[in-house]
Homo-oligomer: A and B are copies of this chain.
Amino acid sequence: MKIITPGEGETFDIELEENLLAKNRELAEANRRRLDEKGVRAFDVMGAIGAGKTSLIGALIAHLRGRRVGVLAGDLTTTIDADRLAERGAAAVVQINTGKECHLDANVVAKGLDEVLQQGVEIIFIENVGNLICPAEFPLGSHSRVVVVSVTEGPYTMRKHPYILREASVLAINKSDLAPMMKVDLEQLRRDALAVNPTLQVIATDCLNGEGIEQVAAALGL
């Protein structure tokens, strides 16, 4: 088998992106300073379509009842996730529609913060666009990044997607109840993830039934 690995400058957009990424990092740092000044904790949640990002955030909001939680929900065009999270009891919900953009960036998140910080929230969850690749390179200024992977994505997710795991501090392996039926070995997924990033806190979750939510909250210091 032949393996092709494009070299530096061989793909179109490497140099252009360097400037974008540097600018994004600056704006992310500004977001972080703003959150810290107000004493607000923020967490961003990344993962593929259907991994369970919205279900995880919804379960965390239920777990944290009594505290004022804000949500920024990123999606290409719809308000499906934001609607679901408003129903779960979020004190403030902002939908960020990115159009064809495949990730949130620190600039659109700054606009979202303008809105939710006015509502006097203590905790903010930022749900990224459903994508296991592009969000990794765009820090948003949150205090921790969470990745959600569903066992229904099969046995190779951790090995195929090292970059996003390296950016995260918490990994939720979701729909863990389906692992036997999907013939996916939870312990192997955990080992694969830790081989990529040994500092990850890896938690098996079943967000629809509340399994593992307390552990995720504790891992985030909540």
Residues of A within 8 A of B (CB): 1-6, 10-13, 16-17, 20, 23-24, 48-50, 75-80, 82-83, 86, 93-102, 105, 107-108, 111-112, 115, 129-134, 136-137, 150, 152-154, 156-157, 159-163, 175, 181
Contact = CB atoms under 8 A, between A and B. Distances in A.
Given A3-B79, A157-B49, A160-B78, A11 B131 contact: no
Contact of A16 (B16, B112, B115, B153): B16
Given A20-B12, A102-B133, A152 B50 contact: yes
A13 B20 contact: yes
Given A97-B4, A160-B76, A130 B130 contact: no
Contacts of A76: 133, 160-163
A149 to B, nearest CB: 8
Contacts of A95: 1-4
Contact of A94 (B4, B75, B93, B163): B4
B49 A111 contact: no
Contacts of A105: 11-12
A205 B1 CA distance: 29
Contact of A152 (B6, B98, B150): B150
